[in-house]
Each structure stands twice: as C-alpha cells, then as structure tokens.
Amino acid sequence: MSADGLHVFANRQLNGHLLRSTSSNSPYVSCPGNNVPCSLTDPLSGISDNITLIESRAKSWYEGLILSLQHRQSHLSRIGYQYNISYTLSKTLDYSDDDQLTNSNANEQVNLVEGINQPQLEKGYAVTDELNRITLYGEVQFPWQISFAPIYAFGSGVPADTFLPGTAINSANGSRLPLISRNSLGREIKNSNQLNAMIDKWNALPACPATFPCLAGGLLQHVPGNINFFSPFSSLDFRLQKQFKFKELASTSLEKHSISSTKRTSVAPAIRTMQDEASPSALFNRRKTVNPLRQYSRTSTPQLRPQEGSLALADLEHFSLPQDWSSNHDHAGRSKTRPG
C-alpha cells in the first residue's frame, strides 16, 4: 500500500488580455478609457478591431492525494490472481479553459459585460477537474491457459459553466453569471436550487453601469428545480483470453474484449495518469507482434480514450505470435532452422 501527496503550481501560462491603455501617439490607435478596450484601425481598409495581448501570466494549481493498494501474484488452489486498487482525491484550478489560444477572448467576457478590468475573476475550476476517482483492475488465471482481466473506473465527473445570451453587450459575445466563478456548476453550485438562489441575487442588483457587480442584460428567469449538477461516470472493461500452444514452434491466443460505460463524457488531465504508471501493461497483452497469418481476419476494437486508470484498447490482434517469428520463419511460415 502506498500514499502520495502531490502539489503542482504552474505560472506563465498563455492567456489573452485586451489592451485598454497605451502610451502610443499613433492616430490609428484609440483608447477611450473607463476600462473600454483599445481599438486599432487599418489605414488602408478603415477596419477597426480590438487588440488582444497574448501574455504568459496565467497560473494553474493541482493538488492531489493518491492512495494505492496492490496485491501481488497469489494462488488459491489452481487459480492465480492479482489486483490493484487506487483512489485519487484532487482539485485543479486555472485561469482559462484553453491556455494555448485566445479562445475568442472568452476570459474577457465578464470584464466587457460589467465594464471592469479584473482578470483575477477568471480563476476557477479547470474543465478537467475531477474530485474523486477510483480505479480497480486485476487478472485471474484459470487452468487450461485461460485468463480474465477486468478493469473498473468511477469518476465524480467534471464541472460545467453558465452562459447568459442576454449579456452579449458592450462588444461581448455573452458571459457566464458574473456572481459565480468559472466552471462552478457541479462544484460550488451543486444543484439548480442553489443556482436559482444566485439568480435571485443577480436580479436584485442595480442596473449597469454601476459599481461591480451590476445587473447587465436584463432579469433572469429561474431554471427548473431539483436538478443535480453532479454527473458521475463509470466504465467496465474486461478481456477474456485463451492461449493455445503448439509444441515449441509457436503459440497463439484467442481473445474477447468487452467495453461498457456510463456517462463517459470527459478527458482526464495527463497529470492524473501518474497514479497508474505501475499498471502492468502485460495485463492486456500489448506487446508488439509479427503476425504472418494474413489469411485470418485481423479484428480491431474502436479507438477508445477512457479516463486515466483505464487502458486504451485499440488494434488488438486476436491471433498473435511471438516477436521472434519473423527471424526464424519465412513469409510462408516455414521454419528457417535446419534440423540438427
């Protein structure tokens, strides 16, 4: 059994920010002030547009507690088995849903709607944040070269955000509800009743322009009550394998794979795959093989990108031969070794 704590802090991530002031005296640059973004005019076409600065000043945080229990290979009568159980409690915060692109200035929408310049308001849960995750996998080896390898994963789901179409004002495309943080549905706001309480606070604000926060885009109606924003998912994959041996010449295996999932909707961050680095890749027989049996059908499973803790099953050959086959046999499958 092992327990690990992990804290990762990253700064200088890319983030877009609208220019609101400048010392330039160019007649083609206009900065009205009062937190209104500057505009740049093309002298040839006369087209004006805002100026977005791509700056490396955004930050992100990840904190995780990783617990793992591993049971080594054991036997119960003629049956061998091994398994691993891992649990992760984590939290991920950042300043943008996309740290590589300006994303149409999505992180500026609240500032535009409210007439402010406060980039710190964009600190919120990452789209990949996952509070709880449990992964169980193992292998059972039966007599007659039969093995069964299941893997089960359960996750608490990812957060979601709000969007108000009526806030498409002041050159904005529409923003989230400014009273709550980014991606707070399923975290700070756990159900629609709590969201309706925030809507009541929003409707009671003075109309903009006023001191932040102010009511922009008109009053909001309630959403249907008793909706739970907590949306967990689970998946169960397994492999059933039967091996056949033909003296010392070659061996082949027949495999059956099954994949089932419930609400598999999110992609976990790469950092969480660290807890499964000890996962035995041999569990799913992912070795590279050379298969001269071209006349047999080569069956591939659909490409699956599950959450961490669940291996991707893709392009698995139902008939697989040892890797040294090509060096000891010709294209017809005849042995190159002369009897001694």
Residue-wise pLDDT tens digits, 260-274: 655 543 333 322 222
Residue of 187, 217, 174 lying closest to 199 (CA atoms): 217
Between vectors from CA 331 to CA 327 and to CA 335, what angle results, nearest 5°?
A: 55
Decide if 283 is inside a domain. yes
Q: Is residue 204 over pLDDT 80? A: yes
Share of the chain above pLDDT 70, in %: 71
Cα(271)–Cα(66) distance, integer angstroms:
12
* 142 neighbors 148 (Cβ within 8 angstroms): yes
Decide if 338 is inside a domain. no
Decide if 333 is inside a domain. no
Rounded to two decimals, the pTM is: 0.67
Q: What is the pLDDT of residue 125?
A: 95
* Length reported for the chain: 340
- Which ranges of the chain does DSSP label H, i.e. alpha helix? 109-114, 192-203, 325-328
* 271 neighbors 8 (Cβ within 8 angstroms): yes
249 residue type, one letter: L
Q: What is the pLDDT of residue 194?
A: 96
The mean-pLDDT minimum among 11-15, 139-143, 156-160, 189-193 falls in 11-15
268 residue type, one letter: A
Decide if 335 is inside a domain. no
Mean pLDDT score, 139-145: 92
The mean-pLDDT minimum among 21-30, 168-177, 236-245, 269-278 falls in 269-278
The mean-pLDDT minimum among 11-25, 168-182, 237-251 falls in 237-251
Q: What is the pLDDT of residue 157?
A: 84
Cα(196)–Cα(179) distance, integer angstroms:
12
Q: What is the pLDDT of residue 265?
A: 37
The mean-pLDDT minimum among 95-99, 111-115, 184-188 falls in 95-99
Q: Is residue 324 over pLDDT 60? A: no
Q: Is residue 170 over pLDDT 80? A: yes
Q: Which of the pair, 279 or 253, is modelled with greater confidence?
A: 253
Confidence label for 97 from pLDDT (cuts 50, 70 and 90): confident
Confidence label for 101 from pLDDT (cuts 50, 70 and 90): low
Q: What is the pLDDT of residue 273?
A: 24
Decide if 339 is inside a domain. no
Q: What is the pLDDT of residue 338?
A: 45
The mean-pLDDT minimum among 54-63, 87-96, 250-259, 268-277 falls in 268-277
The mean-pLDDT minimum among 122-136, 162-176, 192-206, 253-267 falls in 253-267
103-115: per-residue pLDDT in tens?
A: 778 889 999 999 9
Decide if 340 is inside a domain. no
Q: What is the pLDDT of residue 331?
A: 44
Decide if 30 is inside a domain. yes
Task: Print the domain residue range for 21.
Answer: 2-328
Number of domains forming the structure of the chain: 1
Strand partners, 255: 241
Q: Is residue 278 over pLDDT 90? A: no
Confidence label for 311 from pLDDT (cuts 50, 70 and 90): very low
Residues 6+ apart with CB under 8 A from 240: 146, 147, 148, 255, 256, 257, 258
Decide if 165 is inside a domain. yes
Q: What is the pLDDT of residue 260?
A: 66
H helix or E strand, kind and range, residue 19: none
Mean pLDDT score, 185-210: 94
Q: What is the pLDDT of residue 317?
A: 32
Q: What is the pLDDT of residue 296?
A: 30
Under DSSP, is residue 116 helix (H, G, I), strand (E, B) or coil?
A: coil
Long-range CB contact pairs, 262-266, < 8 A, 24+: 262/233, 262/234, 262/235, 263/157, 263/231, 263/232, 263/233, 263/234, 264/233, 264/235, 264/306, 264/307, 265/157, 265/158, 265/231, 265/233, 266/128, 266/130, 266/155, 266/157, 266/158, 266/233, 266/307
